[in-house]
Copies of this chain bind each other. A is one copy, B any other.
Amino acid sequence: MTKKNKYAIGVDLGGTTIKLGIVTNSGRILKKISVRTQAEGGPKKVIGNIISGINELNAKSKYKIEGIGIGCPGVVTPGKGIVENPPNFPGWEKINIGKIIFQEFNRPVLVDNDANAAAIGELTFGSGKNYKSFIMITLGTGVGGGIVMNKKIYHGDFGAAGEIGHISIDYKGPKCNCGSYGCIEAYAGNQYLRHRVRHQLKKHPESKLWKIIGNDLSKVSPRNIQGAAESGDAFSKSVIDELGVYLGSAFASLVNVLDVSVFIIGGGIAGFGKPLFDSIKKTISRRVMAPIRPRVRVLPAKLKNDAGIKGASALVFHHN
């Protein structure tokens, strides 16, 4: 088997850390490192750090590298490797990372938005393997999305497609940091969720969550909510159920518009597990037309740790 292995470098460009790994075409990480992003130093600094990271990773490497995949924040021009205005990267407008890294290493370089890379990761190595079309959602600080249609990422005309987090489920709902109202990110994004639960918890003095957080509201977190729910706390269970209603309502609109009925969910909050997935599925089923219901699937992402590195490397294997 080892003889048939192919190898790629996956680069997960984050706001504070760049994670890099050598990954096999079956999704196994052979070696990995982290370097600081130093985004405040501007694009030259960041790209210099990517290059020295790749050099460090690849030093004395015995692997023939097929290519380098980079997952990064911001809008990526489809097929061009140009990264536009990644949030929290000052001094950055449009930079052709793909071209610069190619010139340095003379290997194919594939660049995509991190949420799209996560989707390609699931398609290549994970829960999306057996599906032609699915929607990947990553629940974290924000709510990232990637749309896979016919085994390819749907990028849209300008590379900005897939912003599932900014589907509004209530046009008069809570203000989202994107400027709109009622986006699911404004319900399911980590900070929004904590904020809402802190507020709701005050009306539930009976909740076991109080004990878990030691009566300190600043300690409300997805992990603590999950802990309370698992110990049977009705309030915490209702929080998870409600989150499923929010997400499921947005997903039902997507089913109706895109005729895609498979949803793969990753990121920290996906750790709520079965109760969350059941609530999402029940909500979608109630809100889409009867013939579609049997096709609806809501699956946990398979790639957990190092999903960023694996997804980025999958850009290379998927392209070949």
Chain A residues at the B interface, C-beta cutoff of 8 Å: 85, 132-133, 145, 147, 154-164, 166-172, 178-182, 245-246, 249, 252-254, 256-261, 286-292, 295
Contact between chains at A257 and B163 (CB < 8 Å): yes
Query: Do A179 and B259 touch across chains, with their CB atoms under 8 A apart?
Result: no
- Which chain B residue shows the least CB distance to A135? B257
Contact B157 A132 (CB under 8 A): yes
New A-B contacts (14) at CB < 8 Å, excluding given A156-B259, A157-B259: A85-B291, A160-B259, A160-B289, A161-B257, A166-B257, A168-B252, A168-B253, A169-B170, A169-B171, A180-B252, A180-B286, A180-B288, A181-B287, A253-B253
Given A179-B286, A180-B288, A287-B180, A259-B158 contact (CB < 8 Å): yes
**Contact A259:B161 (CB < 8 A) given known A168-B169, A169-B171:** yes
Closest to A166 in B: B256
A sample of 11 inter-chain contacts (CB < 8 A) reads A156-B258, A158-B259, A159-B259, A160-B292, A167-B257, A170-B170, A170-B171, A170-B172, A171-B245, A179-B287, A180-B252
Verify A257–B289 contact, CB threshold 8 A.
no
Which interface residue of A180, A246, A286, A292 has the most chain B CB atoms within 10 A? A180
Report Cα–Cα, A162/B259, bound state, in Å: 8
- Shortest Cβ gap from A162 to chain B (Å): 7
* Residue pair B258, A168 in contact (C-beta under 8 Å): no
Q: How far is the CA of A259 from the CA of B155 in the complex (A)?
A: 8
Q: CA separation between A287 and B183, bound complex, in Å?
A: 10
- For A132, the chain B residues whose CB sits under 8 A away are 157
- A253 contacts B167, C-beta separation under 8 Å: yes
A290 to chain B, nearest CB (A): 8
Output the least CB separation between A170 and chain B (Å). Answer: 5
**With contacts A133-B157, A168-B249, A171-B246 known, is A147 near B180, CB below 8 A?**
no
Look across to chain B and name the residue whose beta carbon is closest to the beta carbon of A180: B287
**How distant is the Cα of A133 from the Cα of B282 in the complex, in angstroms?**
33
Q: Which residues of chain B are within 8 angstroms of A249 by Cβ–Cβ distance?
A: 168, 171
Q: Are A257 and B162 in contact (CB under 8 A)?
A: yes
List chain B residues, Cβ under 8 A from A179: 286-287, 289-290
Most chain B CB within 10 A, of A166, A168, A256, is at A256
Give chain B residues whose Cβ lies under 8 Å from the Cβ of A182.
170
Give the shortest distance, in Å, between A34 (CB) and chain B (any CB): 30
Question: Smallest distance from the beta carbon of A69 to chain B beta carbons, Å?
Answer: 22
Looking at the assembled complex, report how far the CB atom of A207 sits from the nearest CB atom of chain B, in whole angstroms: 24
Q: Is the CB of A254 within 8 A of B257?
A: yes
In contact, B258 and A161 (Cβ under 8 angstroms): yes
Report the Cα distance A133→B154, complex, angstroms: 13
How far is B145's CA from A145's CA once the two chains are assembled, in angstroms?
Answer: 23
